[in-house]
A = this chain, B = another copy of it.
Amino acid sequence: MSKTTIEESATKINTLNNYEKDYFESYNNYGIHEEMLQDEVRTQSYRNAIKDCKHLFQGKIVLDVGCGTGILSMFAARNGAKHVIGVDMSSIIEKAQELVDLNGFSHKITLLRGKLEDIELPFEKVDIIISEWMGYFLLFESMLDTVLYARDKYLVDGGLIFPDKCSLHIAGIEDNEYKHEKTSFWENVYGFDYSPFIPLVMREPIVDIIDKNKVNTTANEIIEFDLNIVKLEDLTFEVPFHLKAKRNDTISGLVTWFDVVFPCPKKDVIPVSFSTGPFSAYTHWKQTLFYLQDDLECEVDDDLEGTLSCSPSKVNNRDLDIKIKYTFSAKGAIANIRSTKSENTYLLH
């Protein structure tokens, strides 16, 4: 069993490009870990999912991808894992080592600093992968790439991934007041015309808490990923949606969110899952909102059909290029006036 120490693997950091450095350094502050740990929906879901599957962790080798402060590694160790390897690129792992020692898990948890793709693990195969890899709009920061790499290289046949299912959802919302405030500011900035900023504003998805009462269409699950089989190329996709207006109102934008499901402990038992949608309890992921260029005057049952495409940005592959094409088909007397089609592009960065 070869062992890479935190210090040895840290030397690899010098091979990173600048975007990678920015990304990993953003996790050096304790503040981001405070926010994630205090997100009870997130952390308790992992705790419960692992605890409910205690029998599956007994005597198993577990890999924690992007272990941060080591909370998931300790959950696994506390629930019977034989050994846990936690890997993280950020210097927070030095603090994690202190916590592992302090909480009496030094003999059960090995922490390695480095990019998973670069370092050597002390085990050839692992039985279970645990990871909290999800970003805004599920895929922002694209840490899922690393989980899939770990799966393909290290996971035994029939091994488990926590969580192993996730899905993206979309619905229309009314949010005209804020949308117009946000754009009209640029029309007159202390007497100057700043309108070239308006397309920039419209191009940026907004990560915020969306009041469920603003949702005014049906919701669609647009894509589901099964982590046991999904491939890297599946994370670049174009998928259709078909929403129906639920009231006479205005559709100002589209809200998106994701749901996550953990492996099922036994037959006939409901697996642990959580949703980051507007109808569920707050999580630090909030929701991701895309304003449409148009304000769609809708009546009950009007159709909003289109596609959402998503791919890693070519400039920084942790950013996402997202495109939403839609056709809005109004009904009734002035259907022609209200109906429209459009193509909107966004950069989540």
Give the A interface residue count (CB, 8 A): 38
Whether A71 lies near B103 (C-beta < 8 A) is no
A-B contact pairs, 21 of them (CB 8 A): A18-B18, A18-B21, A22-B22, A22-B25, A29-B204, A30-B197, A30-B204, A31-B204, A43-B190, A44-B190, A47-B190, A71-B190, A75-B190, A78-B191, A95-B196, A95-B200, A99-B194, A99-B196, A102-B196, A103-B192, A103-B193
Q: Is A276 an interface residue (CB 8 A)?
A: no
On chain B, the residues within 8 Å of A191 by CB distance are 78
| 0 or 1 for each of A15-45: is its CB under 8 Å from B? (1 = yes) | 0001001100100011101100110000110
Interface of A is mostly: helix
Measured CB to CB, the residues of A under 8 A from B are 18, 21-22, 25, 29-31, 33-34, 37-38, 43-44, 47, 69, 71, 74-75, 78, 95, 98-99, 102-103, 185, 189-197, 200-201, 204, 349
B201, A30: Cβ atoms closer than 8 Å: yes
Determine how many copies of this chain the complex contains.
2
Q: Complex Cα distance A74/B201, Å? A: 22
Give A34 Cβ to nearest chain B Cβ, in Å. 7
Give, as a whole number of angstroms, the nearest-CB distance from A94 to chain B.
10
In the bound complex, residues from chain B placing their C-beta under 8 Å from that of A201 are 30, 34
Cα–Cα, bound, A192→B73 (Å): 12
Residue of A25, A30, A43, A349 ringed by the most chain B CB atoms within 10 A: A30
Q: With contacts A71-B189, A71-B190, A190-B43 known, is A95 near B197, CB below 8 A?
A: yes
* A194–B31 touching, CB < 8 Å: no
- Beyond A30-B200, A30-B204, A197-B30, is A99–B192 a contact (Cβ under 8 Å)? yes
Q: Cα distance A104–B204 when bound, in Å?
A: 28
Closest 7 CB pairs of A and B: A98-B196, A30-B200, A103-B192, A102-B193, A74-B192, A30-B197, A103-B193
A71: chain B residues within 8 A (beta carbon): 189-190, 192
A80–B204 alpha-carbon span in the complex (Å): 36
CB distance from A104 to the nearest CB of B (A): 9
